[in-house]
Amino acid sequence: MEQTAAQLSDAFAHIRLILGFVVSLSIARLLTGLARFVQHPDKIRPDAVHLLWSFSILLLLVHFWWWEFWLGVIPVWTFALYAFLLLFVLQLFLLTALLYPDSIAEYAGYGDYFMRRRAWFFGLLASVNLFDVVDTLIKGEHHAVRYSWDYWVQAPAYVALSLIAVWTANRKFHLAFVILNLAWQIFFIAEAFTTLG
């Protein structure tokens, strides 16, 4: 069945609404988790690696919502495409839930918790980066050509670094990875996404 311009616009608005709900829940979970450090400074102490990943995922969520604007150029909407996007955004929510679980009572703190649950976190992070490449390709060639070579090597690089992060508990590696990640995100946003044009 061919979709009219009005149907495409309605589909885009409907899907953005659902994605927006999940992104909003993700941001709320992150902000609530971050607020715990202010609310209970003597009970809950921040960990540098965990805290930097929290800021990184917050930036990723804001960035994700911005780059999904280009979904408006998709000429035909299918359930498979909708399911793909929903799975993409659900992974982002799970990253926030892994950063801020309901309780860390059985752990020595957020640093201990993060290191002991790093396989889940970095497995999802690798998957999110692969989904991002597919998401870019879905938006069409006119969108994909906006990016230089560095974008196309970032997904395999993130997968490789995430696999190393799953394997090692070395704090220096994890601190270097999250700092590199934040620097890359800021560079990429400045290079590719300062305007919608």
- HSE, CB side, 13 Å, CA atoms: give it for residue 196: 9
Cα–Cα distance, 27 to 141 (Å, whole number): 31
CB atoms inside a 10 Å sphere around CB 186:
12
pTM of the model: 0.87
pLDDT, tens only, 140-183: 777 666 777 777 788 899 999 999 999 999 999 999 999 999 99
**pLDDT greater than 70 at residue 193:** no
Query: What is the predicted pLDDT for the residue at 192?
Result: 66
**Where are the strands (E) in the chain, listed by range?**
none
pLDDT, tens only, 68-102: 777 777 778 888 999 999 999 999 999 999 999 99
Query: What is the predicted pLDDT for the residue at 42?
Result: 82
Cα–Cα distance, 141 to 143 (Å, whole number): 5
